[in-house]
Amino acid sequence: MQLLKRKKQHNDLDASEKDLLRQLFDAKMALDSARQKFEYVTEPDMVASCIYEMHAEQARYTHLLGRVRAQGISLENRRLLEDQGENLRLRID
């Protein structure tokens, strides 16, 4: 019988795992920002630029999400990190 791997909770995370979560959340915010920017541009060159940016951010987010899942880190840790005052960096474009 195969045992299920328990997802790591906040108290179980080391510094590198917390950093990985921060990178993931930063990537998600950057992806959301790129999508939002795409909604407002009208010039063809800017549309192409936004599409390129969205693809790049999606690839970065997918890669980081795969690493988080491979390490068995629970995504519920974001709220725990925020509640304990470990502010996640906000990316402002």
- pLDDT tens per residue, range 22-57: 999 999 999 999 999 999 999 999 999 999 999 999
Count the neighbouring beta carbons within 10 Å of the beta carbon of residue 68: 19
Answer whether residue 7 is part of any domain. no
In which band, very low, low, confident or very high, does the pLDDT at 78 lie, cut at 50, 70 and 90? low
Residue 93 lies in a domain: no
To the nearest 10°, the Cα dihedral for 69, 29, 23, 7?
Answer: -30
pLDDT of residue 77: 56
The reply to whether 41 falls in a domain is: yes
**What integer is the mean pLDDT of 5-24?**
74
Domain count, the chain: 1
Q: Is residue 63 part of a domain?
A: yes
Residue 59 structural domain: 16-83
Mapping DSSP to helix (H, G, I), strand (E, B) and coil, where does residue 8 land? Answer: strand
CA 17, 22, 26, 28 torsion: positive or negative?
Answer: positive
Higher pLDDT, 3 or 45: 45
Residue 77 lies in a domain: yes
H/E stretch holding 87 reads none
Indicate the pLDDT class of residue 82, thresholds 50, 70 and 90. low
